Amino acid sequence: MVLDFVFAPGNMFTGDFNYSGFSGTVNFGKPYAWTARPRALKVRYKAQIGKIDKVGSYDPDGASYQDKQDCARIFVAVVNWKAQHGVTSGMTEPAGMWDPAVKTSLDEGAILGYGDLVITQTATGWVEATLPFNWYAKDAANPASAPFSLVISCATSMRGDYLTGCSTNTMQVDDFEWVY
Domain boundaries, the chain: 11-179
Query: Tens of pLDDT along 126-156?
Result: 999 999 999 998 877 777 777 799 999 999 9
Please tell me the distance from the alpha carbon of residue 81 to that of residue 46, in angstroms, as a whole number.
Answer: 31
Mean pLDDT of 32-36: 87
CB 113 within 8 A of CB 136: yes
pLDDT of residue 178: 97
pLDDT of residue 99: 97
DSSP state, 8? -
Residue, of 4 and 153, whose pLDDT is higher: 153
Beta carbons within 10 angstroms of residue 140's beta carbon: 17
Beta carbons within 10 angstroms of residue 150's beta carbon: 20
Does the predicted TM-score (pTM) go above 0.75? yes
Beta carbons within 10 angstroms of residue 21's beta carbon: 8
Q: Which CATH number is associated with domain 11-179?
A: 2.60.120.890
Q: Confidence class of residue 89 from pLDDT cuts 50, 70 and 90?
A: very high
Mean pLDDT of 27-48: 95
Please tell me the distance from the alpha carbon of residue 14 to that of residue 30, in angstroms, as a whole number.
Answer: 6
Please tell me the distance from the alpha carbon of residue 127 to that of residue 50, in angstroms, as a whole number.
Answer: 18
47-58 burial code (b ≥16 CB/10 A, e <16): bbbbebbbbbeb
